[in-house]
Amino acid sequence: MIETQNANTLLTLTGIGKQFSKAAKPVLNDVSFSVFEHDCIVVSGQNGSGKTVLMTLIAGLEQPTSGSIYRKQCNGKDIPVGLVFQDADAQILGDTVEEDILFSVRYSRLSQPERIQRLETILKQLGLLEKRNYPARSLSGGEKRRLAVAGILMMEADIIIFDEPFANLDFPGVVQVTTMIRQLKESGKTIMVLTHELEKVLALANRLFILHKGTLVYDAEPKTALENGILAQYGIRNPLCTYRTIEDLIWNADEL
């Protein structure tokens, strides 16, 4: 399997199936795709389509029932995958912002000066420098998602996956998150965003995945899905009913 990968292939899923012991049907069925360096992929689908389970399999938190997952290796180890969960509070492990970010490298071989230097850079990058000593749980919803990403950047993850990152956020919070995703994309990170709220982020994506009842039914550029009725076919609202062009499908600071 490894020999068939391109140099810029970070991840390949082949024939992935997942069924839990008490479930009548599989959650995922014969899912196959590759993720390449600098991809920005939006993964959409109705509730129960298998998006979150797919994320846990990619990250290695669960094992598939069938099929195989290839992850690019670096120094003999699989590249790290960072997850930003829908419930951002569930990822907070440190009392303060700084402690929480450093938690992700507590067992690494980084020297103390290297940790501090990387920490300072990430705090500035994500606009958290002034809140480094704040209680982590006192942050706003958008800030908590930025905090989760800060820990991921500390461990230098090659792929960052956001699971419903706009859930329970007000407009300014959504803008914080979309701005961060844009900045991560521009810095060269590979990103997957699992969401049914296409109008908030689809303009940043070069690929759109649609999951339907555990099956990957679409993997191509977003524009085609917006124009040919595929979204409605799988119960997803087409955002162009409200917005004019695909370039409009991003909530940003200009609208504040």
178 is a domain residue: yes
Per the structure, the count of domains in the chain is 2
Which single residue is written with the structure tokens 């820990």? 151
The low-confidence residues of the chain, meaning pLDDT below 70, are 1-5, 255-256
Residues 114 and 229 in one domain: no
Overall pTM surpassing 0.85 (yes/no): yes
Q: Which of 106, 133, 157 is the last residue of a domain?
A: 157
pLDDT in tens, 116-163: 999 999 999 999 999 999 999 999 999 999 999 999 999 999 899 999
pLDDT in tens, 196-220: 999 999 999 999 999 999 999 999 9
Residues 103 and 72 in one domain: no
Calpha distance 177→87 (Å, rounded): 14
Collect all residues with Cβ–Cβ distance below 8 Å to 13 and sequence separation of at least 6.
31, 32, 33, 34, 57, 58, 67, 68, 69, 70
Contact between 130 and 157 under an 8 Å Cβ cutoff? The reply is no
Collect all residues with Cβ–Cβ distance below 8 Å to 244 and sequence separation of at least 6.
none
Residues 6 and 75 in one domain: yes
Q: How many CA atoms lie within 13 A of 27 on its CB side?
A: 20
Q: Domain of 102?
A: 94-157
Residues 73 and 106 in one domain: no
Helices (H), the chain: 51-59, 97-103, 112-125, 141-154, 171-186, 222-227, 230-233
Q: Which of 157, 176, 199 is the last residue of a domain?
A: 157
Residues 105 and 65 in one domain: no
